[in-house]
Amino acid sequence: MEEKSYKEYLQHITTFIFDVDGVLTDGSLNVTTSGELLRTMSVRDGFALKFAVNAGFNVAIISAGQNEGVKVRLEGLGVNPVYLGASNKAEQFKTYTQENNIKPENVLYMGDDIPDHAVMQLVGLPACPQDAVPEIKSVSKYISHKKGGEGAVRDVIEQVLKVQGKWVF
């Protein structure tokens, strides 16, 4: 049986779920003298997240990280829920989809590292940034040409919304 092109899945996506570190950020951390961890996020990814929310898509975050600033930023864009401290992302995914009556085949999940592996095997369209680890690339149906924190999120959102006729132009 011939493997489907990732583009065949785009029409059916209703839900985006993203990891944070390495997907919405470049995976690097700046550590202040007080021990605070600072991350950098792309405003273009932020625009796309807000646009997807406004277009009626479910947009969620499942991250093992626990930075409250990340939560404030994403909730400010309309992303809800933002699950932080998720030690078992697959279980958090199952809970979220069941509580919201979302079919796993209608979900695009973007992750970049080993903790994302299990959940990526449960979704319709597993995706990753260009700089994801090899194990994640091997289970991804789409590998963005953009790196984490540098437009990978915008890339997948824009593709889905364009195929569904919901993008700006």
* Annotated binding residues: 19, 21, 112
16 in helix, strand or coil? strand
Cα(26)–Cα(29) distance, rounded to whole angstroms? 9
H-type alpha helices, the chain: 7-10, 43-54, 68-76, 89-99, 117-120, 134-139, 152-163
Element (H, E) at 14: none
Q: Which residues are bridge partners to 110 per DSSP?
A: 18, 127
Q: What are phi and psi of 152, to 5 degrees?
A: -65, -40
Half-sphere exposure of 80 (CA within 13 A, CB side): 7
Binding site, annotated residues for Mg(2+): 19, 112
Question: Quick one: which of 13, 19, 7, 2 has its CA closest to 118?
Answer: 19
Binding site, annotated residues for substrate: 21
Taking the mean position of all CA atoms in its chain, how far away is CA 118?
14
